[in-house]
């Protein structure tokens, strides 16, 4: 049987080695946990940003569709160039072109 001082030395050495190993394992677990939490947090922030952007985009699409419907429904037909010319000008009996009374 080894002397008592050797047993105490082995016991202290084993305890120190176990403590260092346990500290390393706990630190590794804590680092992994913190990294996972950070990743979850950043993922959530990105998801919220994308959701806000998506809602804004849907709102803008609806506005564009309403505006397009408004433009297409309230638009007078565009007269042909000759018709438009006749609306703006008229021929005087002397042969000259004058502005129509509706324009003046």
Domain that holds residue 50: 4-73
- CA separation (Å) from 16 to 2, 4, 6, 62? 20, 18, 15, 69
Q: What's the number of domains the chain is made of?
A: 2
More confident residue, 51 or 104: 51
Say whether both 16 and 32 belong to one domain. yes
Region of 95 please: left (phi>0), alpha (psi -120 to 50) or beta. left
- 97: which 2 tokens? 């072109």
Dihedral angle over CA of 49, 51, 55, 61, nearest 10: 90
The structure's pTM equals 0.47
Query: pLDDT tens digit string along 79-97?
Result: 677 777 777 888 888 888 8
Say whether both 61 and 14 belong to one domain. yes
Give the Cα separation of 38 and 51 in Å (integer): 20
């Amino acid at each position: 049987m080894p002397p008592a001082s050797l047993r105490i030395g082995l016991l202290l050495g084993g305890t120190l080695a176990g403590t260092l190993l346990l500290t390393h394992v706990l630190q590794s677990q804590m680092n992994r946990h913190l990294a996972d939490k950070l990743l979850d947090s950043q993922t959530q922030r990105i998801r919220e940003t994308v959701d806000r952007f998506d809602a804004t985009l849907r709102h803008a699409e609806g506005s564009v569709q309403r505006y397009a419907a408004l433009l297409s429904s309230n638009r007078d037909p565009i007269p042909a160039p000759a018709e438009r010319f006749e609306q703006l000008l008229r021929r005087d009996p002397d042969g000259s072109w004058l502005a129509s009374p509706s324009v003046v």
